[in-house]
Amino acid sequence: MSTIALQRWSRSAAAVMVVICVAVTCGAASAQPRYGLSDDAYKLFAQWLNSSCVGDEAQKLGESLLHYRAPLALAFEKALVDGPPPDEVRAVRAAAVERYAGRAKFPLDNYRIEGVSKEDLARFAHVTSEEYVNDQVSRFTTGYRANAAAALAIVGGGEARALLARIAANKDDPAAAAAAEALRNMPQQ
């Protein structure tokens, strides 16, 4: 019985995550700054920033970015510096608050959970709402900025290279590793 309840909870949590991801992605089109981009360039900009940027999807999308190289380079530089728009951060924060509330209603002590250490379960159980929400917002912001850095490896020029180098050199910046990786992937000029 407890395994079935855990599976149901996992499925409902997964469904909520899918709805949240779709809402955030759809909301991105209206919430992100346009940076003076045409409609087509902006669609690519928003799609790149809200994608996983891996595999075949990234390659096809990366090739599409090259059609709007100059305007997208400026937009991705600004996105890397500014981070996500406040509306998107608010949406992620609200979704995280909801996920935490659902998670808090799940009584771990009532179920036998395998494959996770007691220490990890204890750590999971003692995360506060504020810690959880801040972690989710931080992950989203870092991912957004990392995607902007990855895009600059494709469309950026000398100014983008300088920006990426500055961010990569700042080890306190959560996007430093992404900027360093983007520099390694950027063609030599």
- Tell me the pLDDT tens digit for each residue of 174-188: 999 999 999 999 988
Rg (CA), the chain: 19
pTM of structure: 0.75
pLDDT at 189: 65
Residues 87-140: pLDDT tens digits? 999 999 999 999 999 887 877 777 778 888 888 888 887 889 999 999 999 999
**For the chain, which residues make up each domain, given as ranges?**
2-185
C-alpha–C-alpha distance, residues 152 and 69, integer Å: 9
Q: What's the angle, vertex CA 130, arms to CA 136 and CA 115, rounded to 5?
A: 60
Q: Are 42 and 34 in contact (CB under 8 A)?
A: yes
Q: Give pLDDT, residue 54.
A: 64
Cβ-Cβ contacts under 8 Å for 172 (sequence gap 6 or more) = none
H helices present in the chain, as ranges? 2-31, 39-49, 55-65, 69-82, 86-104, 118-125, 129-155, 158-169, 176-185
Phi-psi category of residue 35: left, alpha or beta, with phi > 0 → left and psi -120 to 50 → alpha: left
CB atoms within 10 A of CB 160: 24
In the prediction, which pLDDT does 53 show?
Answer: 61
